[in-house]
Amino acid sequence: MLKYKTFLVFVLTAFCIAGGIAPFSASALTDSPSPWAADTVSQAAQKDLIPQDLNGSSYRQDITRSDFSRLALSLYAHLTGDTPTAPAASYFSDTDDAAVSAAYELQLMSGRGNGIFSPADPITRQEVAVAITKTLAASGIDTSMPADDILGELKPFSDLCDMAGWATQSFAFTLENKILYGMSETELCPTRLTTVEQAVVIASRCLDKYTLPPMATPSPSATPTPDASEARRVSISGDASLVSTGDRSAVVSWKAMPKASTYRVDIYLDQSNFWFADDDQFVKSVYTAANTMAGLQNLRAGMTYRLLINGLDAAQNPVCTYGAVLKITPPQTQQQKEQAVFSDGDITQKEQADALMQSVTVNVWKIGRDGSKYASKATIVVHKQIADPVRNIFKEIFEGTEKFPIKDAGGYNWREPMASGRLSHHNYGTAIDINADENYCIYKDGSTVGKFWLPGQNPYSILPDGEVVSIFAKYGFVWGGDSWSNPNDYMHFSYLGL
């Protein structure tokens, strides 16, 4: 069963000992914090938020980038209840610190470029704002902001010229949510260094603001099968308006741009929770001629899309660009899904799991020797609580316009625990692999399971913006192709998110 926050101290200690990172318990710092920070630091220590192995001996000294990595990891673990996996190798040439590598792998911290992290350097206020925002985003918290709100938060300050462009959205978010404050009514001092006690207070504010109440004891409940109205809760902000929504689709419109003869809508999948960021994954472009309206297809429930609406002149040169954010609410919360799956009790043993599985027979398309598609059937074993949604998923795939061919599909498969001690979600019967050879799983070290992934070239490879991923998302499944950074598991769909 998944580990909840009530087991957090045990979880963190187990990870830190195994991964070479000291437990997040009472700090080794020997002095006392400043009077203004004393109460908050004391509360943070009681919550085991302060890493034990901070370098140095003073709360009042500047915190280093490596120590802030430890603090970000601790905040992430408290917010999510997750046990971070210790990386197998370092990502940087100037440090082999496991905490730095773990924070980088989780996208909580960034390097300085060219394989450099600068672990001993102090961290500036603007770097703290970005790291805190990335940590919250990685913890599942929406950190996006409309452009007008960003400008509104920063407008009172006279030293914006000292701020790097990459920090503006993060600084605005932390100001709006009272995580960081100006150093005065008119100064942000973005390049000023941050002390240990300041960093702890900032992390403590995040923990107090975003910690969810303890999860209730799961009670039996049927897994809801979403209809279009449940799965299609869509909102849009920025420079576009929502015209209508359909089944996994939406229509957006915008004001006409002077001198624009055609429009190109660039669609990005939000990977950063920033307004726009280099981490966002490009999906595709939609051209609309002179029409100030575009239809978007195969959208994924539970995801946020960034839209760059580019007005182009007759020579296809850009004349103006609008930005918009399209957010689609998932059909169920993570808590609802976990309650449904674990309502029958502990399933961490094979005998218990076997008794909860159900075989589901579905229609699928196959490819014959002559290259033509023909109807066939496949049987998948899954947890009984998701049997009906799985039937609906494959029904929609079979009836879809792509007629996506399925050569093999695997669900429940009892496996030994992973090196981290975690069970695969195939053990729970809540994960499905499709066309394993043609949708390989690839790790950062280059090792693979399966042969390749060639979307658009091989008919069995899953398209990132195609019907299969979109239909699975409609019923609460996430796709391993882009839902986490390591590995990219293109065959894998998971109801519980792993």
Q: What is the DSSP string of 3-51?
A: --GGGHHHHHHHHHHHHT---SSS----SPPPHHHHHHHHHHHHTT-S-
Which residue type is seen at 39? D
Chain-centroid distance, C-alpha 438: 25
Asked if residues 213 and 280 have their Cβ atoms less than 8 Å apart, the reply is no
For tokens 């307004």, name the residue. Answer: 275
Q: Which of 296, 325, 324 is nearest to 309 (CA)?
A: 324
Q: How many CB atoms lie within 10 A of CB 387?
A: 18
Instruction: Write down the pLDDT at residue 72.
Output: 93
Instruction: Write down the pLDDT at residue 334.
Output: 87
Distance from C-alpha of 182 to C-alpha of 44, rounded to nearest angstrom: 22
Per residue of the chain (498 residues), what is the pLDDT tens digit?
Answer: 333 333 233 333 333 434 444 433 344 565 788 899 889 988 988 888 988 776 556 888 999 999 999 999 999 888 887 777 777 778 889 999 989 998 888 889 988 888 899 999 999 999 999 999 999 888 878 888 777 778 788 888 988 888 888 888 889 999 999 999 999 989 999 999 999 999 999 999 999 888 754 433 334 444 444 444 433 478 888 888 888 888 788 889 988 888 898 999 999 887 654 444 455 678 888 888 877 888 899 999 988 898 999 999 988 888 888 988 898 988 888 888 988 888 877 788 888 889 999 999 999 999 999 999 999 999 999 999 999 999 999 999 999 999 999 999 999 999 887 766 778 899 899 999 999 999 999 988 889 999 999 999 999 999 999 999 999 999 999 999 888 777 889 999 999 986
Look at the alpha carbons of 432, 436, 440, 443 in this order and tell me if their dihedral is positive or negative.
Answer: positive
Paired with 264 in beta bridges are 287, 310
Chain-centroid distance, C-alpha 385: 25
Distance from C-alpha of 139 to C-alpha of 49, rounded to nearest angstrom: 15
- Which CATH class, in words, describes the domain spanning 234-328? mainly beta
Instruction: Write down the pLDDT at residue 22.
Output: 42
Distance from C-alpha of 354 to C-alpha of 180, rounded to nearest angstrom: 51
Sequence-distant (≥ 6) Cβ neighbours of residue 221 within 8 angstroms: 336, 339, 340, 343
Instruction: Write down the pLDDT at residue 57.
Output: 61
Instruction: Write down the pLDDT at residue 118.
Output: 93
For tokens 């941050």, name the residue. Answer: 194
The pTM of the full predicted model, rounded to 2 decimals, is: 0.56
Q: How many CB atoms lie within 10 A of CB 91?
A: 16
Residue 344 is encoded by which pair of tokens?
């029958």
Asked if residues 308 and 266 have their Cβ atoms less than 8 Å apart, the reply is yes
Each domain of the chain, given as residue ranges in start order, spans 5-210, 234-328, 334-494
Asked if residues 357 and 381 have their Cβ atoms less than 8 Å apart, the reply is yes
Instruction: Write down the pLDDT at residue 279.
Output: 57
